Structure 1
Amino acid sequence: MTADTTCFDARVKALKSPEFLASLREIKRGVEREALRINPNGTLAQTPHPKPLGSALSHESITTDFSESLLEFITPPEASSAKTVAQLKDIHRFVADNINDEQIWPLSMPCFIDDETEIPIAYFGESNVGKMKRVYRIGLKNRYGSMMQAIAGVHFNFSFPDSFWALWAKQNGTTHSQEQTSAEYFGLIRNYRRLCWLIPYLYGASPALCSSFLKGKEYSLPFKKVGKGTLYMPYATSLRMSDLGYTSAEQSSLKICYNELDNYVRLLRDAMSTPSTRFERFASGEGGNYQQLSHNIIQIENELYSPIRPKQPTESMEKPTDALVRRGISYIEVRALDVNPFSSVGISDTQFNFLDVFLLACLLIPSEEFDEQQLNEAKENMDRVVLEGRKPELMLSNNGVDVTLPEWSKKLFTYFEQAANILDEANDTKQYREAVAQEYAKTQNPELTPSAKILQTLLSENKDNSIFGLELAAKYNKEMKTFDYTYTQSEDFVEQGERSYEAQREIEAADTKDFDTFIKDYFAEPPAKKNA
């Protein structure tokens, strides 16, 4: 038995205590689901953010991401995944009832868009903070193109309760503190980075895309064609997570450190303050012309593309790195999930349960610090799986040793089974073991994966991705309108919308600086230090 499994087994045994089991029942999770608004014919909606949905700047559960047409639905942290699903259904019902004849696109890769100019950039009003959000998005458009920004995903937010971290510290002979909790979260994050190739394999749902997405782009991938204009790769799982999708070549040289909070923050701040020769051609306030917020590698922290982020809720106008320094990590944000086209709300109950297991296992498995070689290996494994994850002869690299995906998965699922047993015991259920069994079957039979099922449908019917998406959009539009409100009623959403407009008006009225001064002051503020 290796030291790693000895340590893992000891941790599993410890978590079976009544105190640990009680703390595990307080795990919180929330969801941010992105979705394009489309017209019934599949084209991108050109209408502004619908007024009944409230202010995109200040609404608590409905906003926009990059585009006016790219909705984002947000649920608060909850200890019950069933409650989160019900909250998502409430939001979807209200939105479906209040976007006239428009529908919600059920896929990650965009619907048919003839020209990037058809993607309207989100508008957040005339306050300085609203203008800043818009200029940031104008910068994204200039840097990477609007098409990439029209890709939708699902973000899964996850946190252990403070009671868990207190018990964990005692079990490991350390003192419970903000610093220790952040360090443990980083251990989890490192294992997630090592193993997150599994996420697009299990849940990748973008093996194909509309050829309009690649219009004017250079690419070397050996696409095949189906239908009238759909491009696909036979073994791809998530083109969204490939270099074609939500990634940045400019950031590929950044070696963001996940070994400790101080280094992570320092490297992120360096990227925010290091000029980019590629982006210097876009104005950042010169003569009042804003084509981006800055000339630097990233404009603000949110521009860092990563399959996972350590998070701490921010105060008004507080930088995310400052929040992390002041208060440590509060939760983690999993960002590698495609929209699930087989769920009307973009994510399934089984995904919730398996992600709980996966993230608990990432904490339980001993996590050595990363070196550059391991970080590169993790990235290479991810790249292979998103493009060729279902390829029978595909090899991954585990600490420099070649291994097949089914072989590595078989070993990993022995860990997942034990983590699932703990969560089932804590919650008096069988749902976690059932989720693990369902996902394990996919690792041994690629035809069970969402990407394989989608391609099978497209190829067997010579169907375009756009038709597949349109059929689902129409089906889900009807389904959403039958959802019963559970936690937030229609009139509650109306009230939320009115409050959000009032909040926006108050923010706009409170401005005392011109926009130039506001931006200069924002970037000139000294970075927060510990115990500040």
Structure 2
Amino acid sequence: MQLDLLVRNGHSALLKGILHGIEKEGLRVDSKGHLSQRAHPRQLGSALTHSHITTDYSEALVEYITPVFEHSADAIEFLADLHRFGYGAIGDELVWNASMPCDIPDEESIPIARYGSSNSGTLKHLYRVGLKYRYGKMMQTIAGIHYNFSLPDKFWIALKEQQQDRKSLRDFRSEQYFRLIRNFRRYGWMLLYLFGASPALCSSFLKGRDHQLQPLDAETLYLPYATSLRMSDLGYSNKAQSSLDICFNHLQTYTRSLHRAIHTPYPSYERIGVKVDGEYRQINANILQIENEYYSDIRPKRVVQSGEKPLHALQTRGVEYVEVRNLDINPFEPVGIDSTQADFLDAFLVTCLLTSGDLIDDEECERISDNQRLVVTRGREPGLMLACGDAERSLSDWGQEILAMVARTAEVLDRNVSDSRYSRAVAAQQLKLDDPSQTPSARILAQLQDQGISFREFALTQSRAHRDQLSDTPLNDERASYLNRMAASSLDEQAEIEAADSIDFDTFLAGYLAE
């Protein structure tokens, strides 16, 4: 394991420079838990241009984005401050603190996000209109947490020297991030077991759809051993994308595959039409409208420059960080994540980076997908077996092996901070592996069953309690002033963009798609 070499060579201290950012989505609901029909509050700034507060699919689906911090605890505290600031703007509304949505009677009650009258704002809105026609609105109301993770250049320079690699630093770093991604995909089921928090949902979510879920009460569906229904086929799924076979072996094959998908027509999307009776239904009829439509549990990322597309940024400047996307919102935590989870994620991701990173062939890619399907729907089932190589292993035994590897990493990280917090984070997950009733998914079902309440009632109660808990500690003046300035400047920036448009949208879209 590369970790042992890092320690022997005296480079393990460079792991102290891990950088973190967190993105958290949440539906705005009224005091009774009904989806908000109000526009994104102007007091929060412009959803088009604000760096920290925007919307995802729906006008009611707010997204909070932290800056990058060296200490994950600082990112979590900033996230808490964004919630505090948000509560000052949304009046009597709540942020639904669960991944699966509130009770939504029909898709017509889901307002699609709007971003103003500019060409770029119109493009963002029409992309979401395309998602409605392709997948339906309901799927787009699911919320989650994205955990952004990167390591500093000093670390990559030392690792490159240790491996005596002659590639450029850019290419070496990208190659190593893809090693991390491959191992994450192999072991990512572990995060679904440990942190999955969506074993139940409002029955309205599946109204009119075939499914295998069981009724818990008149308005709640569930599976007894489920961990993360958000990550199941009931949530994010796309038959068109299943043919892409992207298993993250190399940056160039990854970007080529996505580029091909963005430029390859898909018959069922062609039947939808692009512009029908003068109104856009999607921005193109290809497998993907844009890169971000490709859903995966982890993504290689790079900060884009003004006007630059994400794929171009990756191709020209390489991978800068990874975005972990398979994390449910934990309804027991005020902002959906805590420092213990973040510390474990750091140790887990470093382990994925420094473990042997064989390429993923087609057979293993299918095993990875099968394991994920099993864990999200049956992860706490006693004796559950997963595919490992050419054989099967119990989730429990394989999980013990993975935790042992992460524990070794945690010990090294602890020495860097003169604290045992990483090892404590691993120990907290060991309890869940030893006793499935300690997992968030099991705790949620236990509350529903013990208290005789629906999923809607549970999530509404938790959301109210978290709003009150966060509001009890007001924003300090410095943070409040900063966020007020950001809101005001974002509105000014949106107005400038709208005033600067000099071509009609049809011409703008044609140029965008031709780039």
Confirm or deny a common fold (TM above 0.5). yes
Which consecutive residues of structure 1, in runs of 5 or more, have no partner in the other structure?
A: 1-7, 526-532
The amino acid of 1:119's aligned partner reads I
The amino acid of 1:203's aligned partner reads F
Shift of 1:218: 2.3
The amino acid of 1:253's aligned partner reads S
For the aligned residue pairs, the C-alpha RMSD in angstroms reads 1.3
2:127 to 133, 136, 155: 136
Shift of 1:401: 1.3
CA distance, structure 1, for counterparts of residue 26 and residue 359 of structure 2: 36
The amino acid of 2:4's aligned partner reads V
User: Given the superposition, is the C-alpha separation of residues 53 and 78 from structure 1 closer, same or farther in structure 2, using an over 3 Å criterion?
Assistant: same
Shift of 1:267: 0.4
Shift of 1:459: 1.2
Shift of 1:17: 4.8
CA distance, structure 1, for counterparts of residue 56 and residue 184 of structure 2: 25
Matched-pair identity in %: 44
1:508 to 498, 501, 504: 498
Whether the 8 Å CA contact 2:3–2:409 is kept in 1: the answer is no
**2:96 paired residue number:** 105
**2:20 paired residue number:** 29
The amino acid of 1:211's aligned partner reads S
**1:215 paired residue number:** 207
Q: Structure 1 segments of 4 or more deviating over 3 A?
A: 15-20, 285-288
Which consecutive residues of structure 2, in runs of 5 or more, have no partner in the other structure?
A: none
Whether the 8 Å CA contact 1:257–1:263 is kept in 2: the answer is no
CA distance, structure 1, for counterparts of residue 178 and residue 208 of structure 2: 39
**2:141 paired residue number:** 150
Instruction: Determine helix, strand or coil for the equivalent of 2:37.
Output: coil
Whether the 8 Å CA contact 2:45–2:53 is kept in 1: the answer is yes
CA distance, structure 2, for counterparts of residue 139 and residue 57 of structure 1: 18
Instruction: Determine helix, strand or coil for the equivalent of 1:25.
Output: helix
**1:79 paired residue number:** 70
Matched, 1:481 2:471: yes
**2:80 paired residue number:** 89
Whether the 8 Å CA contact 1:142–1:291 is kept in 2: the answer is yes
**1:165 paired residue number:** 156
| Deviating more after overlay: 415-424 vs 487-496 | 487-496
CA distance, structure 1, for counterparts of residue 396 and residue 478 of structure 2: 43
2:44 to 53, 67, 78: 53
Task: State how 1:41-440 maps to structure 2 within 5 Å.
Answer: 41-175=32-166, 176-219=168-211, 221=212, 223-285=213-275, 288-440=278-430
CA distance, structure 2, for counterparts of residue 153 and residue 257 of structure 1: 22
User: How many positions carry a matched residue from both structures?
Assistant: 514
Shift of 1:348: 1.0
**1:3 paired residue number:** none
CA distance, structure 1, for counterparts of residue 439 and residue 464 of structure 2: 23
Whether the 8 Å CA contact 2:301–2:320 is kept in 1: the answer is yes
Whether the 8 Å CA contact 1:12–1:418 is kept in 2: the answer is no
Instruction: Determine helix, strand or coil for the equivalent of 2:36.
Output: coil
CA distance, structure 1, for counterparts of residue 390 and residue 81 of structure 2: 47
CA distance, structure 2, for counterparts of residue 523 and residue 288 of structure 1: 19
The amino acid of 2:272's aligned partner reads F
Shift of 1:393: 2.4
Instruction: Determine helix, strand or coil for the equivalent of 2:270.
Output: coil
The amino acid of 2:366's aligned partner reads N
Shift of 1:286: 5.7
Shift of 1:206: 0.4
Shift of 1:209: 0.6
Shift of 1:96: 1.1
